[in-house]
Structure formats: structure tokens, C-alpha cells
Structure 1
Amino acid sequence: MVAATLNPAQARTGYFYFWMATACALFAWGAFATTYWTQLAGGTFVGGFPLMHLHATLFFGWTLFFMWQTWQAANGRLEHHRAWGVAGVSLATAMLVIGLAMALHSVRDFQAQGYGDRARSFFILPFTGIGLFAVFFVAAVANVARPDWHKRLMVAATVSLLGAAAGRVGFLIATGGGGPGMRPGTIAPPPQFAGFQGSLMVSVFLVAGALYDWRTRGRPHSAYLIGVATIVGVGFAGSLLSVTPGWYHFVDGWLALGR
């Protein structure tokens, strides 16, 4: 296949998305470095099981896949980019299924440790993160013929997954850097407004995209504004909703599905 030819301005813009994807990947991998990767390498990781490691493989794999896709687009390999997009749909679908399964497992594990309603409240974090990823991803695929929306919505989809990484940053701060065998899941569920705090942290990536647009286009693209408003809004609303009886009933319905 012959790669498309990009003018210098298009090439610079294309590489911005590659570097955005790289920044997202570095944040995700770095946040999990001491609570997952180095513990696995050092044999100090405790409580691991196949579903957890499959979940990690899929979600960390997405960050690398997104880098690959933005690299191909930046280099004008659009036919390859579109062909690999089919694999991206399959990967995103697997992430949705395995992500929900892992979230339900975590709730049950917290309940077994005696955390009760706090375990139910915790479910709002993975549920909204996976849900936002699905919404932004579907919207990006639906706008594949509108590249300006497609690429920015894909950035928003990837950023919505970084809430777990933001939670790891909060965990490391709260525990003074953690330690061998220490990770979220081995201590109490995060506090009520952890999701909102995480949404503020990860929205910085979309703000950076909006500022780049302002510099290169004269105004931020609506996709970034929608992304920031949605991620922060859901983070705040979710923190309030997560302690209501209605939410506990909703979580119990999900937990009943696996019994």
C-alpha cells in the first residue's frame, strides 16, 4: 500500500497525537510501576490471579495499540491505520467484558474483607471509567469519516481509562510510596471523592489538547470541551451517587448476575 502524503503542517499535527498517546501510556505504565510491574519482576506481588493479569494485558495493551495507531496516522499510513482499526474494535470489546468482570471481582473481594457499603461505592470507579471509554470509543468509530472528531474522541476514550492510574498515584501518596506487596485491593477501598479527584487529574491531558488546538486552530475543538466536561462531571456526580441506596441496589443487581 502507498502511504498518503502529508504536508508539513499536517505532519506536525499528526505527531502531536502520537505524543499525546505516548504521554497517556507513560502515565499509565508509570503509575502502576511500583504496585504491579516491579512487584511481578521481584516476586513480591501478592493476590494475583489469571483474570487480573488478563485485565492488565488488555488495558496496557490498549495504550501501546493507541500509540501504534497514532504513529501510523502521523506517517500517512492511513490504509494500515483503518485496517488495524478492526482489531481495535475487538480489543475494546474484550476490555469492556473483562473490565466489568474484574470490577465485580474486586467488589466481592472488598465485601469478603468486611467493607460492605464501601465495597459497593467502589464499583462506581471502574464502572464509569469503562462506561466512558465505551461511549467515547463508539462515538469515535461513528465519526471515522470526520477525522477531526475521530482522533480527538479516541484521545478522550484513552484518557477516560487513566482513572485507575490516577488512583494508583493517590495510593502511592497516601501510603508514602507503597512497599513490597502493597497495592490497592490489599487495603480499604478508596474514599468517596477519589473518582472526582482522579477525573481532575486525567482531564489535564484533554486540556493540553485544547490548548494545542487554541494555538494551531485559533480555538479548542468541541470534542475536547465535551471530553473534559463529561469526565469531570461524571467523576463529581459519581462520587455523590456512589453512597446512595439506589446505587447499592444497582450494584447488587450486577453482583447477582455472576451467582
Structure 2
Amino acid sequence: MAVAMAAVILIGFPMQYMMGRSTFHMPVMVHVHAVVFFGWTLFYVLQNVLINRASIVLHRRLGWIGAGWAAVVVGLGIYTTAAMVRRGGSPFFFQPNYFLFMNWLTVLAFGGLTAAAIVLRRRTDWHRRLMLCGMVILTGPAWGRLLPLPLMIPWAAWGVFAAVMILPAIGMMTDRRRTGRVHPAWWWGTGTIAAIQILIGVVAFSPAGLAVYDTVVAGAAGERVDPLAFPPPPPGLAGPRPG
């Protein structure tokens, strides 16, 4: 599953560049964000390889590096999203206020599940399942680049959510087949992901959420963007518009 998640990320992001939808002419912090997030992906795969080879001591030592790395992932995720919204760079298949809270809350969910997995590191049955649920959240942006989200407006976020849930669902079914029951860690992990998905819409469209959005974009180009309207697609890219 670690390799599958890395493959989704490795395929999803370069595809944007190869199709001419992305460019290297972006702010430095966007590149830093990319290096840190993809570095975390490789680190996660490495930790799984070490366990598979029974290199438990090294796995545990590196785990503390991972704890700090995960904290950086959360911080950069919050910062980079705010920077994108401030310059009016929200993808056209998400309303800007929704995009802001979608990224913020999902990266916080990643941080929360990863922290819980670290706390429960000696209970390996919980640890590995919660780590997977945390990691699978980070595949969301990659799935967003693989799925035809312009054709899924206004349900693009739910399409990404469905894709993200594929691997945890496989894990649950595997548990059921092997042991006759689903391990409770899956329910906590997938329950967190589902709860966050619902919470995004509640918070983003609330008066408090809109007030936070206004504060984030104050004095920047994003201030001139309607937070409740889907941005226009790039020139030459036609797609359905919400009614």
C-alpha cells in the first residue's frame, strides 16, 4: 500500500507538467513544499521497507525524524495553501473558501492521525493502520490531478474523497477476510477522514469560515476573488459550469 500511494503521487504531479498545466515558474516556497511532501512520501515507503526487512531498531530511530518531518508537512501545507489563496490561485473546480479549508483541515487530519500513530507506536497493529490512514490523506492532491475534476464540478471534492478511501477500504476488507473482523484502528482512521470531509463544507460556508477567509486574503490579489464562486477555467479549457 505504501508503494501504491507513492505511485499515485509520482504519477499525478508530473502528469500536470507533461500536459502543460503546471510550470516550474512558481514561488520558492511552493518548491520547498513539493520537496518536503514528496520527501515524506519516500520516507514513509522507506519505513515500510525497514519493517518488512525486520530492521526494527533503525525504523524506530528514524521514526523520531519522521515525527518532526510530519510537523513540517502540516506547517507547510497550511502556509502554502494560504499563499495560493492570497494570490487568487485556487483551482477553478473548487470555490476559493472551500479550497482553503479543504487543504487546511485535511493536512491537520494527517497530522492528527500521524501523531496518534506515534503515540501508539508500541501497539503496532494500531500504529501501522493509523499511519496508513494519515498517509492516504496526502494522496488527495495527486488524485485531484488524475481524476477529471473539471467534469465533476461541483462534486470534485467528493470524487477525491472517494478515491482516497480506496486503500483503507481494501485494508478493512483484508482484515475481515483474515481475522473475521475489521480492526478498530480502521474505523478511527476512516471515520476521521469522513468527518473532516463533512466538516470542510460546514466550516467553509459558515460566517466564521468566511471571516477567516477574508482575513487570509486581506490586502492581496485574492481579496478581489469571490470566495463563493467557482473561478473561471483557464483560457481554452471548457467544462461544465454549476447552475
TM-score range, shorter chain: 0.7 to 0.9
Q: What code does the residue aligned with 2:139 have? A: L
- Backbone CA RMSD of aligned residues: 2.6
Alpha carbons 1:193, 1:236 under 8 Å: kept: no
- 2:185 equivalent among 223, 229, 238: 223
1:170-249 equivalences in 2 (<5 Å): 170=147, 172=148, 174=150, 193-249=155-211
Closer/same/farther in 2, CA of residues 151 and 23 from structure 1, 3 Å limit: same
For structure 2, the 5+ residue unaligned runs are 221-243
Q: Aligned residues, how many?
A: 217
**Does residue 30 in structure 1 map to residue 7 in structure 2?**
no
- Give the deviation of 1:33 after TM superposition: 2.2
Greater RCO between the two (CA within 8 Å, min separation 6)?
Answer: 2
| TM superposition score normalised by structure 1 | 0.75
- Matching residue of 1:122: 99
Closer/same/farther in 2, CA of residues 45 and 254 from structure 1, 3 Å limit: closer
- Matching residue of 1:82: 60
Residue identity (%):
27
2: CA distance between counterparts of 1:241 and 1:193? 17
- Matching residue of 2:78: 100
For structure 1, the 5+ residue unaligned runs are 1-19, 176-189
- Give the deviation of 1:133 after TM superposition: 0.5
- Matching residue of 1:135: 112
- 1:164 equivalent among 134, 141, 149: 141
Alpha carbons 2:117, 2:127 under 8 Å: kept: yes
2: CA distance between counterparts of 1:90 and 1:139? 14
Q: What code does the residue aligned with 1:250 have? A: V
1:57-72 equivalences in 2 (<5 Å): 57-72=35-50
- Give the deviation of 1:213 after TM superposition: 1.1
| TM superposition score normalised by structure 2 | 0.80
1: CA distance between counterparts of 2:149 and 2:209? 29
